[in-house]
A = this chain, B = another copy of it.
Amino acid sequence: MKLGEGVEAAIHCASMLAGVDGNSTMSGAAMAEAFGLSPSYLLKHLNQLTAAGILESVSGPSGGYRLARPAERITLLDIVLAVEGKEPAFRCGEIRQRGPVKIDASAYVKPCGINAAMLKAERAYRTALAEVKVSDIVANYAAEGDPRSIAASCAFVERHQRPQKSASSKQI
C-alpha cells in the first residue's frame, strides 16, 4: 500500500496557506520553491485541492491560491481524498464468484466478509485522518517546531504572500 507523494506536498501547502494574512494568496511557483518541488508537479495537486473545494485559486497578476475555508474546517482526510481519490484502498474483485466454486448470483448478495473486514479497517484509518485539522498541524508546528525553522517559514510567507482587494471566502 502506498500513498502518492502528492499527499505530503498537498498537506504542506495547505498548512503554509493557513499562514497567509487575511485574503492574501500565494503562487504555486512560490510554494514549489518552498518545498523544492517542480512547479508543474505541484500544480497538479493544487488543482486537485481546488477542485475539491479546499483551495480557491485567484487569477490575475497578483493571483494564486488560498484556503477556501478556515483551516479549522479542513482535515487531513479531506486532503488525502482530494489527492488520492475517494475509492477505498481495498477494491474487492469478488474473486469468490469466479472459478468453479461459483454458484447462483443470489448466493452472493451479502458482501464478502473479507471485503467487510478490510473496509472496516479503512474506516478506522479515515476516522483518524478526519480527526486532524490543518489548524492542528499549524498549531503543533508553532508549539513544537524549531524556532529557527518557524522564523524562516514565516519570513518566506511574508515575502511571497500577495494581498488581495477582493473579499475572501475564507473569512465567511
What residues of chain A have their CB less than 8 Å away from a CB belonging to chain B?
1-5, 7-9, 11-12, 15, 33-37, 76, 80, 84, 87, 89-93, 95-96, 98-104, 106-110, 113-115, 117-118, 120-129, 132, 136-137, 140-141, 144-146, 148-149, 152-153, 156
A-B contact pairs, 23 of them (CB 8 A): A1-B1, A1-B89, A2-B2, A11-B118, A12-B95, A12-B96, A12-B114, A34-B101, A37-B99, A76-B121, A96-B149, A101-B152, A102-B152, A103-B148, A104-B148, A108-B146, A110-B144, A110-B145, A113-B144, A121-B125, A122-B125, A124-B127, A125-B125
A100 to chain B: which residues have CB within 8 Å?
A: 33-34, 156
Alpha-carbon distance between A33 and B101 when the two chains are bound, in angstroms? 9
Closest residue of chain B to A139 (Cβ to Cβ) is B113
Task: Identify which of B36, B89, B128, B144 contacts A2 (C-beta below 8 A).
Answer: B89
Closest residue of chain B to A150 (Cβ to Cβ) is B107
Alpha-carbon distance between A122 and B128 when the two chains are bound, in angstroms? 8
A96 to chain B: which residues have CB within 8 Å?
A: 12, 35, 149
A3 and B121 form a contact (CB under 8 A): no
A92 to chain B: which residues have CB within 8 Å?
A: 8
A33 and B80 form a contact (CB under 8 A): no
Alpha-carbon distance between A103 and B152 when the two chains are bound, in angstroms? 8
Closest residue of chain B to A114 (Cβ to Cβ) is B11
**A152 → chain B, closest Cβ, in Å?**
5
A76 and B118 form a contact (CB under 8 A): yes
Alpha-carbon distance between A124 and B129 when the two chains are bound, in angstroms? 10
A121 to chain B: which residues have CB within 8 Å?
A: 76, 125-126, 128-129, 132
